[in-house]
Amino acid sequence: MTDELLFLYLNKEVTNDEQVQIKKWIEKHPKDFEKIKLIWEASKMEQKKDEPDLVRAWENVKQNITIPEKKKTSRTIRLSRRILQYAAVAILFISIGILGYYNLDNKNKDEWVAFTSSANTTKEVKLPDGSIVTLNNNSKIFYKNISNSDTREIKLLGEAFFNIKRNPNKPCYIYSANTVTQVLGTSFNVNANDSLNHIIVTVNSGKVAFYENKTSEEKKVYLTAGEVGLFTSKNKKLEKLNNEDSNYLAWKTNILIFRNASLPQLCKTLSKHFDTTISIIHPQLKEKRITARYQGKSLDQILNSLDATLDISHKFTDKGIELQQKE
């Protein structure tokens, strides 16, 4: 008796004749049948073991569709549609004009287009494919302005949050220092600040491949939501970690979240976020823990609220801000 026939017998996919034969055979070979039966039982997939994350899934879908603006009353629709038609034509002409001019002008020049943020503000850039890139302070991106190429390519200096429009036919590559982050459509943060000697990719949704430039396929690290890829320039080490920094996007959202964070952790995050140095004078303060959410708050407001909740005080010195026990 063949194994697959026993398997199909368990699946109830055999004819009546076969069934009679198999039953007779089983009586004589219970052990052989038992093996197949065990395999048959164990290969049943256990369902509903892991629930999909509905909220995250919906976010993913929403990011990858175009939602038209809400329409107003029917009368204005008709009117504005007409205007829109003219407007569309006008824009078409103008854009052809600009493109033609641009193409002529840039025929032999570099195809990369640059966007730069200033020293103390972030900047949101919308790319031609609908992707949105938010640049942190002092950052710069270049993107290749070719509509008929098979790929989308972006170079990054500094830190930026990418919300890349999904397009499986046109993968998007982000180059930062000597790493590449490859995406089909997703949102994530890349931090390639020179001072860090690290390239950090934090994935917010979707999936990306992160790797050193000119590497082989097996050296790629695949990251999904909640995961961090870390590349250390010095020893060229590529690692995959869980994202434990709830504030990696604070520069963009201006929301700081602390969950049972120690005071030294909090000082480190605040120092980075407000580009200052906050130090703790009295060692016993290091034991203190805090859970808080600050949305759009200034450093002064946060420090005052810390003083009240932790029973401490702060003062501004030449070296930065010092936290101490309340006198």
DSSP labels for 197-220?
A: TEEEEEEEESEEEEEETT--GGG-
Residues 6+ apart with CB under 8 A from 133: 115, 124, 125, 127, 141, 154, 160, 161, 162, 163
Q: What is the sign, positive or negative, of the torsion defined by CA atoms of 255, 260, 261, 266? A: positive
Decide: is 308 part of the binding site for other proteins (CB under 8 A): no
Among 68, 74, 234, 318, binds other proteins (CB under 8 A): 68
Among 40, 115, 173, 274, binds other proteins (CB under 8 A): 40
SS3 of residue 256 by DSSP: strand
Beta pairing, strands 278-280 & 320-325? parallel
Q: What is the sign, positive or negative, of the torsion defined by CA atoms of 195, 196, 199, 205? A: negative
Decide: is 54 part of the binding site for other proteins (CB under 8 A): yes
Decide: is 281 part of the binding site for other proteins (CB under 8 A): no
In this complex, which beta carbon is closest to other proteins, that of residue 47 or of residue 147? Answer: 47
Half-sphere exposure of 154 toward its Cβ, with a 13 Å CA cutoff? 30
Q: What is the sign, positive or negative, of the torsion defined by CA atoms of 7, 8, 9, 10? A: positive
**Which range binds other proteins by CB under 8 A, 64-72, 76-84, 95-103, 187-195?**
64-72
In this complex, which beta carbon is closest to other proteins, that of residue 28 or of residue 31? Answer: 31
Size of the site for other proteins (CB under 8 A): 39
**Which range binds other proteins by CB under 8 A, 6-14, 136-144, 237-245, 299-307?**
6-14
In this complex, which beta carbon is closest to other proteins, that of residue 77 or of residue 196? Answer: 77
Q: Which of 295, 292, 298, 213 is nearest to 249 (CA)?
A: 295
In this complex, which beta carbon is closest to other proteins, that of residue 19 or of residue 325? Answer: 19
Decide: is 4 part of the binding site for other proteins (CB under 8 A): yes
CB of 84 to other proteins, least distance (A): 15
Among 18, 21, 37, 64, binds other proteins (CB under 8 A): 64
CB of 6 to other proteins, least distance (A): 8
Structure token digits, residue 302: 């946060």
Decide: is 28 part of the binding site for other proteins (CB under 8 A): no
Decide: is 45 part of the binding site for other proteins (CB under 8 A): yes
User: In Å, how far are 20, 170, 262, 271 from 156, measured between CA atoms?
Assistant: 70, 19, 33, 24
Q: What is the sign, positive or negative, of the torsion defined by CA atoms of 160, 161, 163, 168? A: positive
Residues that bind other proteins (CB under 8 A): 2-4, 7-8, 11, 13, 31, 34-36, 38-45, 47-48, 50-52, 54, 57-58, 60-61, 64-68, 70-71, 166, 207, 224
